Structure 1
Amino acid sequence: MSARPKTGGVTNQLQTPMAPLPRVEQVSDPAVSGPRPSTGRALLPGLVACLAAALVGLVVRHFVPAASPLLVAILLGVLVANARRPVEAWQPGVGLAARHLLRAGIVLLGLGISLQAIAGLGWAVLALVTVIVTVGLLGTYGIGRALGLPREGALLVASGCSICGAAAVAAVEGVIRPRKEYVATAVALVVLFGTAMIPIVPLVARVAGLPPQVVAIWAGGGTHEVAQVVAIGGIAGGGTLLATAVVVKLARVVLLAPVTVVLGIQQRRLTGTSGRRPPLVQPFVVGFVLAVLLRSSVTLPAPALALAGTAQTLLLSMAMFALGLGVSRAALARASGRSVLLGLCGTVLVNVLALGGALLVARAG
């Protein structure tokens, strides 16, 4: 096994001689270079920079509802990293954001999921959701490997397309510890192609005369980000259609927990007895599950849920900016062609599964 130097929230994984992609030069990681003072004053500059990028993302979404704050933040990080040398004073705070704030955002994601609402979808829709995630994940990963992409890059894109977009990419990143440029590419692709579905789904639904139930299941089952599902549901009719689409999407998000556990087990086997073995179950996955159980067992006030949702977006956006700061423009360019094709294939696959399954569910009902 190759040594894996620790780089904050993301670990550079050196490819074996048989790796399909050319070896990428070591990217300077502002999150970990140099000492890490633990004082609040030392953390402040980097955290302020990450927060500023996250707020820019929220402002952009306010004016362009289809835009993802996470994508805006990571693009800002890449732009800053390639336009100037990393600011030394940012390093401690950026390292905290790239690791701990990212995982805290995933935990808060669980507060938006109610098991009762998911169970109300019925066994047929739940079975379809399981098929979408399972076949979407394995199929997209297989396509990625056939295209010659490395295991880590294919897994990240497959997870984002089949489960829940950027949040899934971030969760899987914590398990498999890929190169930073793989993470940035996967986030950009799932947000790009998921956003492309916002006009496509309502347009196809209107031309084909699809019933609201089919549109709702298709949107929730085939779109990558929750925010994109909300946009589609609102355009397609709102009301019950929107609510159903969001619940179907959240049913996919729930499967993030078992998927990361399976990947953790696989990663431990690949690591073997040499090197640092990842935990069987990541602590943030436990926190995510506990948050889902809390939401499902206790009636939380609406203001608290709204605050948790905003905090989740801020934390994940701050983490994405931190990850973007460690991305090499040259490294991204080398993998862009096949990665973009994989993102397209993964998006088409999950949408074919979602639309086909929605039509079968409607016919059976």
Structure 2
Amino acid sequence: MALLGQRPRRHTGEHGDKHTGEHGDGERTPARPAGPNPPRRGVPDPLPGLALAAGGTALAWAVHRLLPGVPMLTAAVVLGVAAAHLPGTGRFASGAGRPGLSMAGKRLMRAGVVLLGLELSLGDVLGLGWATVGMVLTVVASTFFGTLWLGRRLGLRGDQPLLVATGYSICGASAIGAVGQARGSDERDTAASVALVTLCGTLAIVVLPLLHHPLGLDGAQFGRWVGAGVHDVGQVVAAARTAGETALGEAVLVKLMRVLLLAPLVAAVTVSAVRGVRSGRGGRASGDGEPGGRRPPLVPLFVAGFLAAVAVRTTGAVPADALEAAAAVREFVLAAALVGLGSAVHLPTLARTGVRLAVLGACSWVVVAGVSYAGVLLTS
């Protein structure tokens, strides 16, 4: 499959002008004589879609600056969905802009996941204590397998049960994007799952602070509860900040420990996809989601990059200023990716499975919040 963004070549000779229309031909080998199979039409230009993703990212940043309680990544998803449905941009997002928006949703998501590794230090995570480590493992396992089981029982399409389970149990949209890449999931399944998890995570920013005192939690306990039960890192920060610096510090550490589990989960999903290809059951294991694609590595390259970034951060050799700069770049890269994913959401299609998807989201939210609350009380 021709790579997005590849510069089309002009061919000379008898058929050279015939195959270099306004889109170019995109071939990587010399032109073949005309035969039963017509030549490829050309490589779509990703630049218009990437420009729209960049514009959406800038607008998401502006929204976050004006309304600090709205995480930049949440705003990016909403703007991407809006771009797909507004009269002025909807046709563009599904037409000329689609190649670039898809590229943003895939490749920029991988880059953002790699940079997310720089947020993690193994020493900080282990400093939480083994009781907290066990609590987080229990929350992740129960949420993941419970959501996956219920999603399949509800008859949700494609990889939606797996993707929603991943988003709720690990780290929201970033985890969905990573597992979707490893699995080769349909873009519509990925977009619908991101929309659901983002909606529930946004509601958590408002709901959880209201439950802080009624549930009898002190600041540190509330922070651990938020870190164990809220999906996206930005949403965790927004919710925990309401209870002070102690709560915020505990929340971020617990959340980052959940993020650390992203790598083994992606590896497990990749192994499962490879086995499906070998047995003839799974045709979506290739990196581009194409049936019959070559067998993917057991650890995708971007996951290896994530682990390498964790190792670099653990050494303590990276200056604080460099880490802050990397965190800022990560936010913008992930925001652009989420604009791309959000633009793939088709609300009429989503509405047809909306009730079942909403039921899955509500039940998964109850599981992750309830198990994490019990875990915080038991480990305090």
CA distances 1:116-153 after superposition (whole Å, capped 9, x unpaired): 11010000000111111111100111111111113500
Q: 2:351 aligns with which of 308, 314, 333?
A: 333
Q: Matched residues in 1 for 2:142 and 2:250: separation?
A: 22
- Larger relative contact order (CA 8 Å, sep ≥ 6): 1
Partner of residue 154, structure 2: 147
**Most deviating of 165-174 and 323-332:** 323-332
User: Is the CA contact (8 Å cut-off) linking 1:176 and 1:263 kept in structure 2?
Assistant: yes
Partner of residue 164, structure 1: 171
Q: Matched residues in 2 for 1:141 and 1:6: separation?
A: 34
Cα 1:34–1:327 shift into 2, 3 Å: farther
**Most deviating of 154-163 and 333-342:** 333-342
Q: Matched residues in 2 for 1:50 and 1:34: separation?
A: 25
**Most deviating of 345-354 and 147-156:** 147-156
Structure 2 letter corresponding to 1:361: T
1:299 matched to 2:317: yes
Structure 2 letter corresponding to 1:119: L
Q: Matched residues in 2 for 1:6 and 1:151: separation?
A: 26
Cα 1:201–1:99 shift into 2, 3 Å: closer
Cα 1:176–1:66 shift into 2, 3 Å: farther
Larger Cα-atom Rg: 2
User: Is the CA contact (8 Å cut-off) linking 1:181 and 1:331 kept in structure 2?
Assistant: no
Question: How much does 1:203 deviate?
Answer: 2.3
1:310 partner SS: helix
Partner of residue 19, structure 1: none
Q: 2:197 aligns with which of 190, 199, 211?
A: 190
Q: Matched residues in 2 for 1:197 and 1:298: separation?
A: 33
Partner of residue 110, structure 2: 103
Q: Output the TM-score relative to the length of structure 1.
A: 0.84
Question: How much does 1:66 deviate?
Answer: 3.2
What aligned pairs does 1:1-365 form with structure 2 within 5 A after superposition? 35-36=42-43, 43-82=46-85, 83=87, 84-86=90-92, 90-236=97-243, 238-272=244-278, 275-276=292-293, 277-362=295-380
1:206 partner SS: coil
Q: May I ask how many residue pairs the two structures share in their alignment? A: 329
State the identity as a percent.
39
Structure 2 letter corresponding to 1:248: V
Question: How much does 1:339 deviate?
Answer: 0.8
Which structure has more helix as a fraction of its residues?
Answer: 1
For structure 2, the 5+ residue unaligned runs are 5-39, 281-291
**Most deviating of 291-300 and 58-67:** 58-67
Question: How much does 1:361 deviate?
Answer: 0.5
Structure 1 letter corresponding to 2:213: R
Structure 2 letter corresponding to 1:69: M
Structure 2 letter corresponding to 1:290: A
1:85 partner SS: helix
Question: How much does 1:63 deviate?
Answer: 2.2
Q: Matched residues in 2 for 1:294 and 1:223: separation?
A: 26
Q: Matched residues in 2 for 1:361 and 1:222: separation?
A: 15
CA distances 1:309-365 after superposition (whole Å, capped 9, x unpaired): 121121112122223333433222212111111111111111111100000001xxx
Question: How much does 1:45 deviate?
Answer: 3.0
Structure 2 letter corresponding to 1:192: L
Cα 1:6–1:185 shift into 2, 3 Å: farther
CA distances 1:156-184 after superposition (whole Å, capped 9, x unpaired): 11111010011011111101222222212
RMSD between aligned alpha carbons?
2.3
Q: Output the TM-score relative to the length of structure 2.
A: 0.80
Q: Matched residues in 2 for 1:159 and 1:102: separation?
A: 15
1:272 partner SS: helix
User: Is the CA contact (8 Å cut-off) linking 1:86 and 1:325 kept in structure 2?
Assistant: no
Structure 1 letter corresponding to 2:247: L
1:287 partner SS: helix
Q: Matched residues in 2 for 1:50 and 1:199: separation?
A: 28
CA distances 1:85-107 after superposition (whole Å, capped 9, x unpaired): 23665455334323221100110
For structure 1, the 5+ residue unaligned runs are 9-32
